Amino acid sequence: MPLARIEIQDIRPRTPTGHPAKGSVGERIPISADILRDGHDHLAARLRWRAKGQRGWQVRPMAPAGNDRYQGWFEPTSVGPHEVVIEAWTDRFGTWREHTEKRAAAASPDLEVELLVGAELLEQLAPQAPKADRPRLLDTAATLRSTTCTERVKLDAGLDEHLGRLLEAVADPTDLTPSKPVAVWVDRERARFSAWYELFPRSEGGFAGAAKRLGSIADMGFDVVYLPPIHPIGVTHRKGRDNTLTPSATDPGSPWAIGGPAGGHDAIAPELGTIEDFRAFREEAESLGMEVALDYALQCSPDHPWVGEHPEWFRRRPDGSIRYAENPPKKYQDIHPIEFWPEQDSDRVALWNACRDVLEHWIAEGIRIFRVDNPHTKPFAFWEWVIADVVSRHPDVLFLAEAFTRPRVMHSLAAVGFSQSYTYFTWRTAAWELREYGEELAQGPGADYFRPNFWPNTPDILSGPLRDGPPSAFRLRAVLAATMSPNWGVYSGYEHVENQPASPTNEEYLHSEKYEIRKRDWAQGGEWQGATVDLTQFIGLLNRARRNHPALAELRTLRFHSSTNDEQAVVYSKTAADGTDPVLVVVNVDPVNAFKGLLRLDLAELGLSGSTPYEVHDELTGERFTWTGAEPYIELDPAVGREAHVFTLRTLTT
Amino acid sequence: MPLARIEIQDIRPRTPTGHPAKGSVGERIPISADILRDGHDHLAARLRWRAKGQRGWQVRPMAPAGNDRYQGWFEPTSVGPHEVVIEAWTDRFGTWREHTEKRAAAASPDLEVELLVGAELLEQLAPQAPKADRPRLLDTAATLRSTTCTERVKLDAGLDEHLGRLLEAVADPTDLTPSKPVAVWVDRERARFSAWYELFPRSEGGFAGAAKRLGSIADMGFDVVYLPPIHPIGVTHRKGRDNTLTPSATDPGSPWAIGGPAGGHDAIAPELGTIEDFRAFREEAESLGMEVALDYALQCSPDHPWVGEHPEWFRRRPDGSIRYAENPPKKYQDIHPIEFWPEQDSDRVALWNACRDVLEHWIAEGIRIFRVDNPHTKPFAFWEWVIADVVSRHPDVLFLAEAFTRPRVMHSLAAVGFSQSYTYFTWRTAAWELREYGEELAQGPGADYFRPNFWPNTPDILSGPLRDGPPSAFRLRAVLAATMSPNWGVYSGYEHVENQPASPTNEEYLHSEKYEIRKRDWAQGGEWQGATVDLTQFIGLLNRARRNHPALAELRTLRFHSSTNDEQAVVYSKTAADGTDPVLVVVNVDPVNAFKGLLRLDLAELGLSGSTPYEVHDELTGERFTWTGAEPYIELDPAVGREAHVFTLRTLTT
């Protein structure tokens, strides 16, 4: 027979697949639920949490948030699986107090009986209270027993002052109701807050040359250096320059066509150097405070060792041939897809283990972050298994899903285990699109488990205002990515305003670096309309603002404001989880025309009141302005190199 | 190890508590889910359903609805618990066909190999297909094996014509993935579609007098006659006229103060007649096609037999007294609340059984519908148990929850078992409020289990435009209740435009019938501003339209349209579940001023195209108009007795 008197429903966080929600060390992870019981008695609730395997629980209060919803939070201090239980009970003392105060106010004739009810209640609850509080509770019970109606004013004051607080956390054992445990996977902080820089080492002459770039990348404030596949590249059906099918003898091929006589996923392409060169590169990055992320691309060139050694891992057509891989509309004629579900289950197990062993190989080489290529073309069940398996031994390993696909699929990959995900940001360019997408990511159900990583460009994607775009387009998109999302990244060349599309209808780059070596003059900078252009310093300022202001490491506190031209300006703020450190960002999404107008700020979101003057400080230019009220006037004119403000705020005492 | 390749998520219907969703006999119950797998292969899905305990399953297809959502429906034919399972699989043939057609269009050199792939696939799937279809599949396989590229035009035609349809329902056993079973409780049709009339038999002179009213009530088209408690009324703390605490010797008391020397919840108040009179009343109602619903009010007057016999079922204060019942701000000084969770569990079991036996007593007397008084002041766990227990023996019994309380609590009561619920309609009077509430009920999560019953008035509530309101207010609120919700009801006197509130701040009636006998002159009618007024015929027309048009028995198809004055007019339509029988309702919510303007119809929702003329027929007045297009002009002027149109529609062939 069901016997719970209290219902705990609609608990968040949760995932659509039932897998653990996600949090990170040092993050305030919100916990909430609808908590209901019959009648009009008050309810109280708290949460207890612990890292899985720990014996003791930590306890935090939950507070009512209206409409029967209760909320609280916890802040984990270690990585790995955690569990949270919500506990609710009838607040009999609070109920009695409200009830009795009403009767006292109405001079009800049965007030004296009610005082005795209160005395009995205190006597009953006292044994649950901390030992130090018990005498006070029992004293009050005695007072209630001896109080007459005429003394009630004195009594009320006594009750209000101490007892409520004393009894707040005293759970009533008569109907203490626990929720089912909520599972939360806790990552290290970088899962939540990271700045990525992607580069092709071969364009720098291999690992040794690329290592010389690391100082500049660190100076720009990045903390993850991500390399496309570093493995031997196949020769059969190798792609030529500009994605052609007729390569010349010197074309290097796409790094994603993995595998050749020199080895497969655990080997290094000879043209990049040796394993020692790789180690030196990784050590240099780490000495500069950065991590190296590798590409985990589960596919094979026809020359990959697995093709010959494990024919059972590939699907053959009746004539013995293998279909090339596709991610419509893209065709990968130089790649065989792996058949992740061979007919024999033992083959599947062997294949999945081999894929896992590739990760273990690079983990043994000190790699802790993997950017996963097209995970949506491999089974969810594989990711669920391989990620859980790896993090059970290495809970600090992170996975970024490169799944540019349908929303439910992207969310499912995050739910079954990915730490971060690429997003639609790359194509969200209008102001309303950015607002809608930002709200969905920060406040939608995905906020429990889907961590966005905003990339203005990738080697595959040159989109929106960046196509043939001016430097202002590159600056404004960088500001949006770096301040709207706690995780962001750019692909090398962004700082040089590389802006030439493959064609008007193709969103790839002209002379894509995927198929050829691209030489850049890092000392000189890029070029735009005959002049030198270099966003290195600008990007450095952005990443510095991120590091200095905890608000920019938050996503859930993202709130949109308005302006006199909501089609041109995107206005948003964030605070740290505790509401401090407000940051206000204003971006003119038009890279050509100036925005001139009034902001329409929700001052409460910024911790400001309407009449107090406040100082805003632009983290990009160092300018300071003093404002009062919700409608300051601003101008953002790309013609003078000003597309955005990233303001920190300070209230001025008058 | 997890091994499902296909993910089935976010299945609807569902309830927030995990209890069965609700449907009714003859209803199309929608079933939907997100269905995902990796890659770009096509998916197919179907649902199978059965009454619990049946051996065989019935199967229906599901169709993609965009964004990875799939939907279907089933229509149960019997009451009781049902289960539904969604099954999804990779549509390998559909995938192959699309893939091959693209290759054919691009004159791909490996087309011939792909034809062999198709042949193998057909040979593999044939054993799953119905026997009669197998030769066709194998013939086609043979054709594919012998087809060359140059013959492909002929081939395409053959594939398109037959095979797709043939293979649509052939599940691929290699990855056929079932969902967890979805539980649906199926009620009889009246749970979904009913018109209630509430009356106090004592005001008609008891059961014998009330029986004489039944003919008129049936003529008005009602199918449920609901009686407030018919049990003996207590004398101790009896309420007097107008809810006073000082009754005269002749005041009859509130019927909700149940129990006295003549008995408790299984007895009949002597002033109403004998059990034989009650039976005759019930039989007369049934002979007129109506059912009698009784009030199930679990509370006791101080004179109820249980108070003396079962002191353990009441909570006593230290002085031995019992607190009176409250449903803030209402005070029931004449009622003791029952303590549903006595300290001894054996006492709880005995109490719950006694409460269940009250239901069984009246079920044995032929009652199948109970209106439950204040269920939100009794534990959810009690309702969960008692309703499940009763319907396990009597699956045709229905329960209407009179829980005017917070939304989450109302939803939880519906989720744990109530068949219908009172709603906020009684206080939703502005056009925007009605639209928002209608959309929430018809399309929100509650649509899976919460069946609204719209009451413009109750003996407790005279609200909004009805307070001192003109007949037009009563007509327009009746139209809204009867056409927006499949379940509706009125409390006796509505047809006489009884409109006097207890006071400007009290939403009860003046001289409430709860505390006194109210004589009405049914032959004469009511009175308004010196003239006779009687809405009997009007209500009859409304209920007739409901019976004649299946659209009005639907809630899920409710769609709101617009007009040139959305503050004054509420415009909505419904269709039958299969999209036929459109009904269009326009209500001027202002009982005084005329609405004159254009409607702005979504013609597609009405099954109309923009250029075809159509005839609308007002079910209330018999008028017919011929319209073309989405913006007809209408006038609704209360001054001439016209507040609403209830149109049925017919396309005219030109």
Instruction: Give the tens place of pLDDT for each residue, A533-571.
Output: 999 999 999 999 999 999 999 999 999 999 999 999 999
Is A9 in contact with B114 (Cβ distance < 8 A)? no
pLDDT exceeds cutoff 60 at A154: no
Whole-number pLDDT of residue B1: 38
pLDDT tens profile A440-451: 999 999 999 999
Q: What is the mean pLDDT of residues B266-283?
A: 98
Chain B hits for A116, CB-CB cut-off 8 Å, are: 317-319
Q: What is the DSSP letter of B316?
A: B
Whole-number pLDDT of residue A1: 38
Is A317 in contact with B67 (Cβ distance < 8 A)? no
pLDDT exceeds cutoff 60 at A156: no
pLDDT exceeds cutoff 60 at B517: yes
What proportion of chain B, given as a percentage, has pLDDT over 70? 96
> Of A2, A67, A412, which is closest to B384 when you measure between CB atoms?
A2
Class of domain A197-298+339-548: alpha beta
In B, minimum Cα distance to A315 occurs at: B117
Packing angle, helices B536-548 and B471-484, rounded to 10:
20
List the beta strands (DSSP E) in A410-504. Answer: 420-422, 452-454, 487-491, 501-503
Chain A hits for B412, CB-CB cut-off 8 Å, are: 7, 9, 36
pLDDT tens profile A229-276: 999 999 999 999 999 999 999 999 999 999 999 999 999 999 999 999
pLDDT exceeds cutoff 70 at A654: no
- Between B316-330, B424-438, B592-606, the lowest mean confidence (pLDDT) is in B316-330
Instruction: Name the CATH superfamily, with its identifier, for domain A551-651.
Output: Golgi alpha-mannosidase II (2.60.40.1180)
CB-based contacts of A595: which residues, under 8 Å, 6+ apart? A563, A565, A568, A569, A588, A634, A635, A636, A637
pLDDT exceeds cutoff 70 at A379: yes
Is B68 in contact with A379 (Cβ distance < 8 A)? no
In B, minimum Cα distance to A374 occurs at: B39
Q: What is the mean pLDDT of residues A373-377?
A: 97
Residue to test with chain B: of A38, A110, A330, A389, most B Cβ within 10 A: A38
Is A38 in contact with B385 (Cβ distance < 8 A)? no
In A, minimum Cα distance to B1 occurs at: A385
Long-range contacts, stretch A100-109, CB < 8 angstroms, 24+ apart: A101/A156, A104/A152, A104/A156, A107/A149
Catalytic residue (choose from A91, A198, A373, A498):
A373
Q: Left if phi > 0, otherwise alpha if psi is -120 to 50, otherwise beta: which for A59?
A: beta
pLDDT tens profile A406-443: 999 999 999 999 999 999 999 999 999 999 999 999 99
Chain A hits for B332, CB-CB cut-off 8 Å, are: none
pLDDT tens profile B144-170: 888 765 555 455 545 555 566 666 667
Chain A hits for B9, CB-CB cut-off 8 Å, are: 16-17, 408, 412
Residue A618 — φ and ψ, nearest 5°? -80, 115
What proportion of chain A, given as a percentage, has pLDDT over 70? 96
List the Cα angle B211/B206/B507 in 5-degree steps.
Answer: 100
Q: What is the mean pLDDT of residues A167-186?
A: 87
pLDDT, mean over chain A: 94
Among candidate residues A220, A203, A125, the one with its CA nearest the CA of residue A168: A125
Q: What is the mean pLDDT of residues B354-360?
A: 98
Dist CA A300 CA A323 (whole Å): 12
Whole-number pLDDT of residue A152: 56
Q: What is the mean pLDDT of residues A4-19?
A: 95
pLDDT exceeds cutoff 80 at A499: yes
Q: Which fold has domain B92-171?
A: Methane Monooxygenase Hydroxylase; Chain G, domain 1 (1.20.58)
CA torsion B312→B317→B321→B327, rounded to 10°? -90
Is B36 in contact with A319 (Cβ distance < 8 A)? no
pLDDT tens profile B76-111: 999 999 999 999 999 998 898 888 878 777 777 788
Is A34 in contact with B16 (Cβ distance < 8 A)? yes
Is A377 in contact with B39 (Cβ distance < 8 A)? yes
pLDDT tens profile B1-44: 346 899 999 999 999 999 999 999 999 999 999 999 999 999 99
> Of A3, A318, A408, which is closest to B381 when you measure between CB atoms?
A3
Residue B379 in tokens: 């534990």
Asked if the domains A1-88+181-187 and A197-298+339-548 are classified in one and the same CATH topology, the answer is no
Contact B255/B233 with Cβ under 8 angstroms? yes
- The residue to which tokens 């109602």 are assigned: B285
Catalytic residue (choose from B91, B373, B534, B590):
B373
- Alpha carbon of A371: minimum distance to chain B alpha carbons (Å): 18
Whole-number pLDDT of residue A146: 81
Q: Domain segments of chain B: what residues?
A: 1-88+181-187, 92-171, 197-298+339-548, 551-651
> Of A2, A36, A68, which is closest to B385 when you measure between CB atoms?
A2
pLDDT exceeds cutoff 50 at A157: no
What proportion of chain A, given as a percentage, has pLDDT over 90? 84
Is A5 in contact with B380 (Cβ distance < 8 A)? yes
In B, minimum Cα distance to A316 occurs at: B117
List the Cα angle A532/A537/A538 in 5-degree steps.
Answer: 95
- Alpha carbon of A365: minimum distance to chain B alpha carbons (Å): 28
Residue A250 in tokens: 């010197």
- Alpha carbon of A317: minimum distance to chain B alpha carbons (Å): 6
Q: What is the mean pLDDT of residues A462-479?
A: 97
The answer to ipTM > 0.90 is yes
CATH no., domain B1-88+181-187: 2.60.40.10
> Of A67, A110, A385, which is closest to B2 when you measure between CB atoms?
A385
Q: Is A569 exposed, middle or buried (0-12, 13-18, 19+ CB in 10 A)?
A: buried
Size of interface A-B (CB pairs under 8 A): 122
Q: State the pLDDT confidence band at B142, using cuts at 50, 70 and 90.
A: confident
Rg (CA), chain A: 30
Query: Residue type for B21, please?
Result: A
Is A116 in contact with B326 (Cβ distance < 8 A)? no
pLDDT exceeds cutoff 50 at A2: no
- Alpha carbon of A77: minimum distance to chain B alpha carbons (Å): 30
Contact B476/B644 with Cβ under 8 angstroms? yes
CB-based contacts of A604: which residues, under 8 Å, 6+ apart? none
Q: State the pLDDT confidence band at A111, using cuts at 50, 70 and 90.
A: confident
In A, minimum Cα distance to B328 occurs at: A40
Chain A hits for B409, CB-CB cut-off 8 Å, are: 36, 38, 68
- Alpha carbon of A330: minimum distance to chain B alpha carbons (Å): 12
Chain B hits for A173, CB-CB cut-off 8 Å, are: none
Among candidate residues B497, B520, B512, the one with its CA nearest the CA of residue B460: B512
Residue B421 in tokens: 């619920």
pLDDT exceeds cutoff 50 at B213: yes
Q: Is A373 exposed, middle or buried (0-12, 13-18, 19+ CB in 10 A)?
A: buried
pLDDT, mean over chain B: 94
Residue A567 designated active-site: no
Is A318 in contact with B120 (Cβ distance < 8 A)? yes
Residue B223 designated active-site: no
Whole-number pLDDT of residue B146: 82
Q: State the pLDDT confidence band at A169, using cuts at 50, 70 and 90.
A: low
Chain B hits for A326, CB-CB cut-off 8 Å, are: 40
Is B1 in contact with A113 (Cβ distance < 8 A)? no
pLDDT exceeds cutoff 80 at A160: no
- Alpha carbon of A571: minimum distance to chain B alpha carbons (Å): 29
Residue to test with chain A: of B14, B36, B37, B38, most A Cβ within 10 A: B38
Chain A hits for B38, CB-CB cut-off 8 Å, are: 340, 376-380, 409
Is A36 in contact with B10 (Cβ distance < 8 A)? no
Q: Is A25 exposed, middle or buried (0-12, 13-18, 19+ CB in 10 A)?
A: middle
Catalytic residue (choose from A402, A495, A513, A534):
A402
- Determine the 3-state secondary structure of B503 from DSSP: strand
Is A67 in contact with B408 (Cβ distance < 8 A)? yes
Chain B hits for A424, CB-CB cut-off 8 Å, are: none
Q: State the pLDDT confidence band at A402, using cuts at 50, 70 and 90.
A: very high
